[in-house]
Structure formats: C-alpha cells, structure tokens
Structure 1
C-alpha cells in the first residue's frame, strides 16, 4: 500500500517570527489523519515568554497580551509537542510538514532552550518527513506562481479554512501531500524511506538553484549566502565556550 493511503501525522507551528534560532512557538498542532480513521488533532497555545511582534500578530491574530493571559508555559508546550511527534514516528507514521526546515528547526531550538530532549535525539534516524513544498517543486518545477500552502490548496482544489492557524494548516499539509501522491505516480510509487531520502536531494537542488537566482539578481546578491540546503531541519551548531 502506498504511504499516502495510510495513517499520517501533520504538524504546523505559528510563531513569533521567521528566525528559527531566536523566535518562539505561539501555537502548534499535531494531527493524525488518513488510513480510514478519524482526524485526531492536538493543539497547543503557548505564552512564548517574549513580545509577539505586530507583523506576526497580523499573520496568526495572536497578540502578546492574549498569549500572556491564555497561553500555557512554553516549556510544557514544547515537551508535549515533542512527545506527540515522537509517538507518531515510533508508530511508523510519516510526519507531514509544509516547509519542514522551518517548523522542525524551530521546534528543535525551542526544545534545547527549555531543557527538553529534542525530537531527533528521541527517534534518531527513524524520522520520516513528507514536505509538500519540496515535492511540488520537484515534480512540477516549471509551473508559474507561488507555492505557499494556500496556493497549493488552491491549485489542488482543496479547501483551506482559517489559513495560518496551526490546526487548519497541519491538516491542509496532509491533504496536499495526499493530492500530490494521487496526481504524480512517482510519489505514490516510492517507498517512504526512499522518498524521505530523495526529498533531501531535491531540497538541496532547490536551495542551490534559489541561491544562484539571488546571486544574479541586482540588489539581492547578499542574500545568496544565507540560503540553507539542510532538510528536513537545520542541525544544531554547538557554540564553543
């Protein structure tokens, strides 16, 4: 049976910003879906311990005041997210994450910040990730237009209510992954272990291509050096004393 017909685990974070090294989790969702069983979402709302910039609030709608009043301690939230994902991985489920290096790296740094054992330290090499963004670019590279989750839902004719809420986005990422596999035989015909490995290659190729584009674009040449090819997350770099 193809991986897209079985049970899978969607994951999404809404955060305080775009810097995975310094920004914080505000909301998150881990959702089980597929395989003929009901959708089972788990959601979290954290007090990130820092101010939430207006730019982030404009995306997900959560203010600093609301997070402080209603959010749970960040360390507890991070630990529960890590354990929920670890349980899914141990049970053999693929983790579906749109733009995986963002969410998985941010989770890794949050875990280290709060003294929580990081996901990869728990599951080791068992982690198998499906990234709709990487797969869509790989199988349909010449299609024009953006490739955000909203755009992919529109292209594959999938409903997305309440975009930029963690629960809606986590489930939508699963639906896009399923739609990709239905449309492209090379995706549904590839075993999960191999598909994880080939996405690493695709992600590196895509990053190299994007860096080259930046390098030849007037006014953006300086951005090329910051493009990372790591997938599905950016490894933690230990700082020397």
Structure 2
C-alpha cells in the first residue's frame, strides 16, 4: 500500500468563500450571492451560510446568464446589500480570528470586490485578510506549464474534484476548498497556512507580470499598461 500523502496541518479545517456578482469590475460591480463555509479534512462541509443580496443596481443579462439571478428575483428575495456585506465580513473575520485559513479561487477578485463593497456602504472592511488560500495561484505556481484554461471548472476536473453546479456560490466555494486540499495532497505545500499566504503574494505578483508581458506581446494591452498583481486585495483605493 502506498504511503498516505503528506498533508499540512491547515488542511484539517479550512474556510471557503465565493461571490457571484453583477460583473467583473472589482471597484464598480456588486455582490449578488455569497457563500462562506467550513470544510473538514475530508472535504465535508461542516458549517455553511449563504446570502442573496439586492445589489441596488440592475443585474446585467450577461451576469444573469452566468449565475442565474435576475434583477427581479434579487429585488424580491434579496436582503439589502449593506446587511449582506456586513454579515459576510463578520463571518470571514470570525474565521480569521480563529486562525482558520479561507480558500477562495482567484481570491484577489472576491476579496477586492468585497473590500470595495464595504467601503461603498460605510462598513469596516477586512484588515489584511489572511491566511487566504488561492488554488488558482497555487496551481499556476506548482504546475506552471500545464496547457489549457485555469477556470475553476477545468482545474477541479484536473484534480478529480466534482463541481456539479458551477457559478453557484456554495458549489464553487466548496469545490475550491476541495481543490486546495487536492493540491496539498499532490504537492508539498508549506507547513503553515501563514507561510503559504506569504508565498502566494509573491507568486501572484510574478504571475501578473508574466501575463502582462504576454498581453503586451500579442497586442491585447498597451506597453505602459500593467495587470494588477496585488493579492489578496487589490485596487481598494479606487473603490
């Protein structure tokens, strides 16, 4: 029998977090649905809470096509955005205060948009959230040259993690947590979540620089433009 893969201690209890939103602009777009949960070492969700917000603005048809929530539904059934944002931040702050790392796929998107929403509604934002575990950044760091897309659906399939309802906040959050655990079984990650958090800051910066260089080469962006590599929160000053 093969020996059990080495697992870091932070694997035994991890938070998971995901947002579905009105768009992809972290400074301007709004939260529509959210999920915060906790997984045990086997990837079972042992605590969970989901939210539906009335974002206070129309939900574009393109966003509805992704997550299925219409403006009419959000206005009829969603809670006021400030209430939802405050509760999401409270849930995350509680996990961080307990030393529980929080997994978020493409974390700089979710945490940056949440930061902008907090500032928009006069709510105290998370102060240097961490430790955060971002399977997207980790996967790119440890398997840099694997061809293909790096969406959650593709990466989950690569690591044999089920994702049956993509772009639903709870399903995406749980799948991201399980991908993080799969990465910990596949690669020898740092022994502490705090050390991994610190390393991801550098990895994200390097990945953004590499992507910037590529986009300049193919003419997608101008030579003076730069992709923001700050992680896990970026562009808060523009919110």
Same fold (TM over 0.5): yes
Give the corresponding residue for 1:52: 59
Report 1 or 2 for greater relative contact order, CA contacts < 8 Å, sequence distance ≥ 6: 2
Sort the Cα spacing of 1:216 and 1:141 in 2 relative to 1 into closer, same or farther, 3 A. same
Cα distance between partner residues in 2 of 1:154 and 1:38 = 19
Q: 32, 42, 50: which one pairs with 1:43?
A: 50
Q: How does 1:211-226 map to 2 (within 5 A)?
A: 211-218=212-219, 220-222=220-222, 225-226=225-226
Tell me the secondary structure at the aligned position of residue 95 of structure 2. Answer: helix
Alignment of 1:36-185 (within 5 A): 38-120=45-127, 124=128, 127-185=130-188
- SS of 1:32 mapped into structure 2: strand
Q: CA deviation at 1:175?
A: 0.1
**Count of residues in Structure 1 that have an aligned counterpart in Structure 2:** 232
- Name the counterpart of 1:200: 201
- State the alpha-carbon separation in 2 of the partners of residues 223 and 23 from structure 1: 27
Q: Distance in 2 between the 1:63 and 1:223 partners?
A: 38
CA pair 238-102 structure 1, distance change in 2 beyond 3 A: closer
CA root-mean-square deviation: 1.7
- Structure 1: gaps (5+ residues): none
Counterparts of 1:204 and 1:26 in 2: how far apart (Å)? 28
What CA distance in whole angstroms lies between the structure 1 residues aligned with 2:107 and 2:222? 24
Higher helix share: 1
Separation in structure 1 between the aligned mates of residue 110 and residue 209 of structure 2, nearest angstrom? 21
Q: 26, 33, 57: which is aligned to 2:32?
A: 26
CA deviations over 1:138-164 (Å, ceiling 9, x no partner): 000010000110001110011111110
> Normalising to structure 2: TM-score of the pair?
0.92
Change (3 A) 1:19 1:235: closer
TM-score by length of 1: 0.92
CA contact (8 A) 2:36 2:49 kept: yes
- List alignment gaps of at least 5 residues for structure 2: 1-6
Give me the whole-angstrom Cα distance separating, in 1, the residues matched to 2:224 and 2:186: 33
Q: Cα deviation per residue 1:22-51 (whole Å; 9 max; x = unaligned)? A: 100000000111146752110000000000
